[in-house]
Chain A
């Protein structure tokens, strides 16, 4: 295929499975196309509890936003937000404090168009189409500046997105460029897939993801911890998704490591 010239905009191809729509399907949504469901079915065949893992990540997002709202955070930047579905960040945050402001960022033009349609009436939210690989483009985006005040603390949410950034794109550098401009008291929440608990099944998922627009790069606990470099991890640190501030002890279950996702929240000192 010819390389896309710089001036040509991103194309929209519903035939190409999108991580945002696959995730929506795994959470029980219907904002997806046959190509997305096809990949989701194969993922479930390789790892039957993939939907449970998606739910665990989504539940961590909800708990992290609740926790941070409880700490007084009123600004959220959700990068890789996917298809707006039940329990969106602004619903959770504004449920706690009506003045909470949220900016959603996704690369998928369909997810962005859908988000804008749903949030058209919300003036404390914005949806921008950007690539995590351009953090300056995100933080400098006029729509973001219209909603968030970067002079005050912001919670950046990177849910199941850093693991679609290959090493060649320097994810540590990207995380640093997101962290550095933020003021002290800002937070960074990360959920990241790892091969540490179920290497064979996770490798199968990774191979499947090569057919999507966003292939996965799974990382170790040590590598994931580096994304918080210099920031203080909120208790209980970098843990399996169900272990982070569970609503009740029984939510953790006997095998939290089966979630295959390590999560953590860091605070800028």
Chain B
């Protein structure tokens, strides 16, 4: 019997077990009155011990048939009939045992598969919920992030009645980078959390939506305003609430904020445009000196947009060589003789015509194109100069750049003067390029 099935017993253990079963069969054969029932139970016990392989049943039949009567010394025809009945009962016991066991195991493995699948689906759903949360909420403060803010804004605009108005306050902490840099991100994070908590309280009282748009930038979304002044009042209160110092550990951190206020009718408003307007108004509040609120100004916006468009075309304009110089003679008033020339920058714009430096020098500074532009114009000037003047022209240009770098309020200028005579001093170049 050993070897037909995996039975978790030692060889001796298996032998003892099978011996016991054989004794029970032998007892059944000789019992009075005769009964086949023990055969059935022996069959069932064979299966519970682990003799479940088809080969085990075959071997059992052979052993019972070939050995049992002979080993017991039973020869009567009645004994053979008893043996057949006992064998039938044993086979029935084994077959039913295997069948029941198979069904039980199939049921349990299917239940396990079902459980495993449910758990996997639950885990999937949980991770989806988690992913959704992470995609829409800021992890540090728990506030809605820029994505959710934009979604809510778009939804409010879509559902708003035709006469409704809506407003946003974009709020930025002034000097936050310095806090992070000097006291560490740990302190910076606590400062952000404190400000976020104040903003959440403030928003909850007024029924506004607070969000963290990123870094040290927050926002309030306000519905039901009747005019811009409504929102200015709210922004002013938010300003007061937020600019109370925050205590982090031993540090008392002053809080200064800049706020960009945008308020308008929902009709025709677009979420992306509102957000852009909020961003630029906040930028103005910062540029105008921080620690203040600034209201969106359509004219200033139009100028900014035009400037931005112009600056975006500058690199291509440089490649196309649209920047040129015009020269203005410098005349000595004492004798009316020309003493030198001034080189004045011009942008021959294909659509806007000839632009003077006050339209593009700041843009070149802001976009980092100043050095490239300066070198290009210097080259042009040198090409046009008599060779003996080139050295002085370059020296003057360098001195000019140094002077310019030292000035904090650098105005629009890009002029090099080329003096054929030594010892002549500078004019203020800004005066020269401003046209009357």
Contacts and interface: CB of A to CB of B under 8 A. Distances in A.
A120 B286 CA distance: 64
Contacts of B106: 30-31
B434 interface: no
A29 B105 contact: yes
The 5 closest A-B pairs by CB, nearest first: A87-B8, A114-B112, A9-B123, A109-B116, A30-B105
Interface of A: 7-12, 14, 21, 27-33, 52, 54-55, 58-59, 62, 83, 86-87, 91-92, 109-114, 117-118, 247-248, 250-251
B391 to A, nearest CB: 65
A92 B11 contact: no
B113 to A, nearest CB: 5
Given A31-B109, A112-B116, A8 B8 contact: no
Nearest to B116: A109
Given A28-B5, A62-B8, A113 B105 contact: no
A114 B131 contact: no
Interface in B152-203: none
B12 A247 contact: yes
A8 B125 CA distance: 9
Given A9-B123, A30-B102, A86 B8 contact: yes
Contacts of A114: 108-109, 111-112
Contacts of A87: 6, 8, 50
Contacts of B111: 113-114, 117
A202 to B, nearest CB: 21
Contacts of B401: none
Contacts of A58: 6, 8
A59 B52 CA distance: 16
A12 B117 contact: yes
Contacts of A110: 109, 112-113, 116
Given A91-B8, A248-B12, A109 B119 contact: yes
Contacts of B109: 21, 30-33, 83, 110, 114
Contacts of B102: 30
B135 to A, nearest CB: 12
B12 A10 contact: no
Given A30-B102, A30-B105, A113-B119, A247 B10 contact: yes
B101 A30 contact: yes
Given A7-B131, A86-B6, A113-B119, A28 B50 contact: yes
Given A11-B120, A113-B119, A114-B108, A59 B6 contact: yes
B4 to A, nearest CB: 9
Contacts, number: 88
Contact of B108 (A21, A31, A33, A52): A31
A9 B120 contact: yes
Nearest to B131: A7
Interface of B: 3, 5-8, 10-12, 50, 52-53, 101-102, 105-106, 108-109, 111-113, 115-117, 119-120, 123-124, 127, 130-131
A52 B7 contact: no
Contacts of B6: 27-28, 54-55, 58-59, 86-87
Name, among A12, A32, A117, A251, the residue most crowded by chain B CB atoms within 10 Å (CB to CB): A12
Contacts of B12: 247-248
B110 to A, nearest CB: 8
A205 B15 CA distance: 34
A8 B123 CA distance: 8
Given A30-B106, A31-B105, A91-B8, A109 B120 contact: yes
Contact of A8 (B11, B116, B127): B127
Contacts of A112: 116
Nearest to A52: B3
A118 B120 CA distance: 20
Nearest to B113: A110
A29 B108 CA distance: 12
A113 B127 contact: no
Nearest to A92: B8
A28 B48 CA distance: 12
Contacts of A54: 6
B5 to A, nearest CB: 5
A9 B112 contact: no
Given A7-B127, A28-B53, A113-B112, 16 more contacts: A9-B119, A12-B117, A12-B120, A21-B109, A27-B6, A28-B5, A28-B50, A31-B108, A33-B113, A55-B6, A58-B8, A86-B50, A91-B8, A110-B113, A117-B112, A248-B12
Contacts of A27: 6
A26 B336 CA distance: 114
A83 B130 CA distance: 32
